[in-house]
């Protein structure tokens, strides 16, 4: 027999983007009583007859208009008091996507007043434990960036070394030495230099690079923990 207490579950999404030199996260402003005007991560209850991944995609689309996002589950939050209305555990997902300030977000649910890209250093007070969820996702990508080339998921296909350094600095939340950074990034042949240069800039135009995933896989995909192959 199943236990008799009612517990509800939800999903929440932490969607990262990089734009105008800043790491950003997708926030929504809720419109549903008693939470009108509260800032929050896009998230809501899972329905009775849907799987959780399905729910995450549906909710993200309804709350933001975004589709075809590769959502990855990263943690389930289940503290007893995390939600004011009762026992709600939430399964949190994250994604890192390419965005541009020219893109518009299109919420299409009465629950959401607006959706926008918020620089991670300017996040307002968030509903429930969403600040905790956000922090944990940031820890996850900070760890991941040391063994997975996730920075390239945020950047356009062609990027400058300055943009690449900005992404690392934004994720790691620290300044890196420019010369050292360039030396490390260029020493492996992972970045392919392109003939193009930046247009319409007042200063000396920087070179564009592309991420060479095949070379990366050849050099860095390894099975053993510390093989230098």
Binding positions for its own copies, rule: CB under 8 A: 1-3, 5-9, 45-53, 73, 75-76, 78-80, 85-89, 91, 145-151, 168, 172, 176, 181, 184-185, 187-188, 190, 216, 219-229
- Cβ 174 to its own copies shortest distance, Å: 8
67 or 85: CB nearest its own copies: 85
Q: How far apart, in whole angstroms, are the C-alpha atoms of residue 59 and residue 75? A: 17
Instruction: Phi first, then psi: give them for residue 151, nearest 5 degrees.
Output: -55, -30
Residue with tokens 């968030």: 126
Question: In the bound complex, what is the minimum distance in angstroms from residue 143's beta carbon to its own copies?
Answer: 9
Closer residue to its own copies (CB): 116 or 181: 181
**Please, which residue, 172 or 194, has the CB nearer to its own copies?**
172
Helix axis angle for 161-172 and 178-186, nearest 10°, is 110
Tokens of 185: 């990034």
d(CA 220, CA 229): 8
Cis omega before residue 34 (within 30°)?
A: yes
Residue among 105 and 150 whose Cβ is closer to its own copies: 150
Minimum distance, C-beta of residue 52 to its own copies, in the bound complex (Å): 3
Tokens linked to 3:
């236990």
Q: How far is the CB of 80 from its own copies (least distance, A)?
A: 6
């Amino acid at each position: 027999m199943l236990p008799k207490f009612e517990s509800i579950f939800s999903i929440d999404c932490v969607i990262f983007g990089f734009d105008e030199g800043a790491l950003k996260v997708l926030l929504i402003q809720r419109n549903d009583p008693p939470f009108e005007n509260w800032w929050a991560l896009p998230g809501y209850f899972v329905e009775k007859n849907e799987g959780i991944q399905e729910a995450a995609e549906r909710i993200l689309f309804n709350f933001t208009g975004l589709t075809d996002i590769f959502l990855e589950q990263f943690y389930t939050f289940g503290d007893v008091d995390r939600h004011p209305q009762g026992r709600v555990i939430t399964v949190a997902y994250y994604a890192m996507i390419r965005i541009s300030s020219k893109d518009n977000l299109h919420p299409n649910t009465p629950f959401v007043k607006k959706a926008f890209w918020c620089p991670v250093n300017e996040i307002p007070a968030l509903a429930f434990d969403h600040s905790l969820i956000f922090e944990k996702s940031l820890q996850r990508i900070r760890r991941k960036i040391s063994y997975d080339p996730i920075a390239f998921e945020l950047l356009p296909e062609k990027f400058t070394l300055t943009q690449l350094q900005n992404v690392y600095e934004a994720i790691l939340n620290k300044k890196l030495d420019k010369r050292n950074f360039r030396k490390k990034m260029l020493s492996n042949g992972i970045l392919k230099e392109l003939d193009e240069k930046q247009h319409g800039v007042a200063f000396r135009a920087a070179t564009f690079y592309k991420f060479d995933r095949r070379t990366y896989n050849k050099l860095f995909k390894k099975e053993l923990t510390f093989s230098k192959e």
